[in-house]
Amino acid sequence: MKRYHLFVSGIVQGVGFRWYTERIALSCGITGWVKNLPDGRVEIVAEGEEENLKRFVDDLKKGYLGKNIREIEKIEEEYKGEFNSFTITF
């Protein structure tokens, strides 16, 4: 099990990107959360099997809003198992 802390930049606010992220996370079996940051980026904390996390990041890039992503900064952290599902936070 792994934990990714992601910071997504590009045109990712005001376009439904958090909903898009939640939908992909749930389809990949990922738990965690997504939220907008004041600087225009989107922050994601995601936990799950490493292969599922890789698929999650790939699907973010490939999906219909993937074209809006300029960069994904990925920080691998210690798995904590603190989430039951994937949610949008404010």
Under-70 pLDDT residues of the chain: none
Q: What CATH number did the domain enclosing 60 receive?
A: 3.30.70.100
Q: Mind telling me the catalytic residues?
A: 18, 36
CB atoms within 10 A of CB 21: 28
CA distances from 81 to 31, 41, 66 (A): 9, 25, 27
Q: Which domain holds residue 49?
A: 2-88
Largest CA distance in the chain: 32
Query: How far apart (Å, rounded) are the C-alpha atoms in residues 63 and 66?
Result: 5
Among 90, 52, 53, which Cα is nearest to 75's? 53
Q: How many separate domains does the chain show?
A: 1
Among 90, 85, 75, which Cα is nearest to 29's? 85
pLDDT digits (tens, 9 = 90+) for 38-47: 999 999 999 9
pLDDT attached to residue 65: 95
Q: With a threshold of 0.85, does the pTM exceed it?
A: yes
Tell me the two tokens of residue 40: 């225009």
pLDDT attached to residue 13: 97
pLDDT attached to residue 4: 98
pLDDT attached to residue 16: 96
